[in-house]
Structure formats: C-alpha cells, structure tokens
Amino acid sequence: MQIRIDASEFDKLVQEMMQKSGGAKAIVKQAVMAQSLDTIKEVKEKMPIDTGRARASWGAFTPEDIEKPNTPNGKMASKSDTFWHVEDGGLTITQGSNVEYVGDLNDGTSSQRGAGFIDRAAEKAGRELMDRVGRDFERFLSTPGYSINHDFGAVQTDFFTDAGWIG
C-alpha cells in the first residue's frame, strides 16, 4: 500500500506570486513597518511620564512628548535617546529607547503603570503582525485585475493508495 501527498505545484505558485507587484516580500515589509509604527504608538501611550524623556525616546523621537525640558539628572532629552534599527531589507525592525531607566519603568517602578507594559506590547505586536500579514495576502490575492498564470486545479493535496485516488 502506498500513500502519496503531492503539493509540488504549490512552490511554483509561490514563486509566481513573489514576482507579481513586488510579491510576498513587499507585503511583509509593509506589514512590518505598519506594525512597528502601531507598536511605537502603543508603548508611548502606556509609558509613565515625569519629564517625558522616556516617552519621547521610544522608537522615534517626539519632542512634543517632553513635559519638562530637563530631566532630574540634568540630561536633556534628545534624538540620541531613541533606538530604531531596520534589518533584512525591512523585514526586521527593532525599536526601543537608550534611556537608562526605561527598563526600570517596564519593571513597574512607576506608580503610573504596572510592570510589563512593554513586554505586553511586544507580545501583542507579534500576534497582530501575523494577522496583518494574513489579511494583506488575502487582499493582494483578491485584487481586481490581479491574476496568477497558474492552474489552481493543480495545486491540491492528492491522496493515492494502491486502489487509486481517494481524496
């Protein structure tokens, strides 16, 4: 008895998709950027505020978030407080803050916010990125005028036994 599962045509379909309109990589890059910007917004909204330096520093410098021009230790808030790094041609974005006490704020040292607000934002970003990529692929594939020159009938999972095709 034999069972054969054949999805060999699927690889050809994926390759053809990647060639159309910048393909899958462009969709994922756009999703990563959009999710990164949403995550910056969420972290900034939840960041405890005294001087505003930590909030202003997260991901992208926003001087309008600074409540007091000088921090208690005399260090001015500046663009160098931010951390934003794009890798893998835009498929990976790392955001954060170079402000030394942001980790303490995430640990719950401020009475304004409980511990783990950055950790929760990161977990949420991971879930939402997967959802966003899925929705974007569905939209890409259902765009009017978009076509893949491929026989979708050939992309199937076939189950064969000694008796013939069974599914």
State the chain's mean pLDDT as an integer: 74
Residue owning tokens 């050809």? 12
Position 166 scores a pLDDT of 39
The Cα-based distances of 37 to 12, 58, 84, 121, 125 in angstroms read 34, 11, 11, 12, 10
Question: What are the residue ranges spanned by the domains of the chain?
Answer: 27-143
Q: Would you say the pTM of this structure is higher than 0.75? A: no
Grouping H, G, I as helix, E, B as strand and the rest as coil, residue 113 is coil
CB count within 10 Å of CB 104 equals 12
Instruction: For residue range 56-102, list pLDDT tens digits in order.
Output: 888 877 777 776 665 556 677 788 888 888 888 888 888 888 898 99
In 61-148, DSSP assigns E strands to 82-87, 92-97
Report d(CA 96, CA 31) in Å as an integer.
Answer: 19
Closest CA to 94 of 136, 35, 134: 35
Asked whether the beta carbons of 158 and 165 are under 8 A apart, the reply is: yes
**Beta-sheet pairing, 164-165 with 158-161:** antiparallel
Position 19 scores a pLDDT of 66
Report d(CA 4, CA 82) in Å as an integer.
Answer: 54
Percentage above 70 pLDDT, the chain: 65
Grouping H, G, I as helix, E, B as strand and the rest as coil, residue 158 is strand
